[in-house]
Homo-oligomer: A and B are copies of this chain.
Amino acid sequence: MKTIKIGLLGLGNIGTGTYKTLEMNRSEIESTLNAKVEIVKILERDTERDRGITVPKEKFTSDPDEIFQDPEIDIVIELLGGIEPATTFMLSALKNGKHVVTANKAALAANYHELINTAKENNVILRFEASVGGGIPILGTLTGPLRANKFEEVMGILNGTTNYILTMMTKEGLDYETALKDAQEQGFAEADPTADVEGIDAANKLTILMALMFDKYVAPKDIPTTGITEITKEKIEEARSNGCKIKLIAHAWRDENDEIKYEVRPMYISATHPLANINKEFNAVFVKGNAVDDVMFYGKGAGPLPTGSAVLGDVIDISMMILK
């Protein structure tokens, strides 16, 4: 029985979630593949932390080349986050003939073409389902079952931190600062929440969605982006009196001249729109295709196990192609 061998970059929250998901569902996954799946090496400095999993010490390495140059490794999973060194590492892996799976929206959005082209040139697969919507299977759906459509529009609640804050402001009447503090206490916002509350994370994800839906690359820095830091209790109340809720929306659409427009900003969403009822840390992506019309996907946009679900979905897909 063949073994699919994996090198994992990063054993933080998401790395640990991916490891746990594989342990939890190993027998089903291996029976689907009719092959074994093994994480053989892990790039991670912190070998001591209690992660609630048992990782043999000899799997750890602090030298990424030990992974990229190991001829036995088929797939590299990149879960370091951040643009660098993640981008350099992914490029090295691809150039060494490894298939790559990543959850890293910042690195992908910043270096989309270079990563995609390097994968093509080296005849390997680059997959990134987990980079947008976490566990929500949006990318594989757009490029799979929905691909007979010409897409007209996407509206996404793509950032759980800001959606949690806006939900608490709307439902509990909290002001922004109190809601942010609450989100930090509940683990839904980081100590430095800038990338989330300023809309940068949502813009990264919109870059990836636009590339797949409209075959159009726009760098995140070129997307007009407004975060939620100026949202007050009064604005929430004004929206409510107009039958609306305020949501941070990553929005791209085809205008009447077939041009693609795009923005990330807080929007009034009618309380009867499906996106209005996406609350707390949940994410949702609303898509309009010229044949399917409106579809929406809803789920947990982050978290170790939901993200692990998406990462391993990609791993299984690539494994099936390897094993063919």
Contacts and interface: CB of A to CB of B under 8 A. Distances in A.
Interface residues of A, number: 48
Contacts of A24: 150, 290-291
A150 B25 contact: yes
Interface in A124-159: 129, 135-137, 139-141, 144-150
A224 interface: no
A201 to B, nearest CB: 20
Interface string A301-324: 001011011111111110000000
B291 A308 contact: yes
A147 B313 contact: yes
Interface stretch (A79-87, A108-116, A292-300): A292-300
A318 to B, nearest CB: 12
Interface string A76-120: 000000000000000000000000000000000000000000000
A35 to B, nearest CB: 14
B148 A309 contact: yes
Given A32-B147, A145-B310, A310-B145, A295 B25 contact: no
A203 B306 CA distance: 29
B292 A299 contact: yes
Contacts of A292: 135, 299-300, 305-306, 309-310
A133 B296 CA distance: 13
Given A291-B309, A292-B300, A299-B296, A137 B148 contact: no
Given A141-B140, A148-B21, A294 B300 contact: yes
Contacts of A310: 145, 292
A136 B315 CA distance: 24
Contact of A145 (B22, B140, B295): B140
Interface string A1-44: 00000000000000000000110110011001000000000000
Contacts of A308: 148, 291
B137 A145 contact: yes
Contacts of A306: 291-293
Contacts of A145: 129, 137, 139-141, 144, 310, 313-314, 317
A71 interface: no
Contacts of A315: 148
A277 B294 CA distance: 15
A274 interface: yes
Please name the 5 residue pairs, one residue from A and one from B, whose CB atoms are nearest each other, closest first.
A137-B145, A148-B312, A295-B299, A291-B309, A140-B145
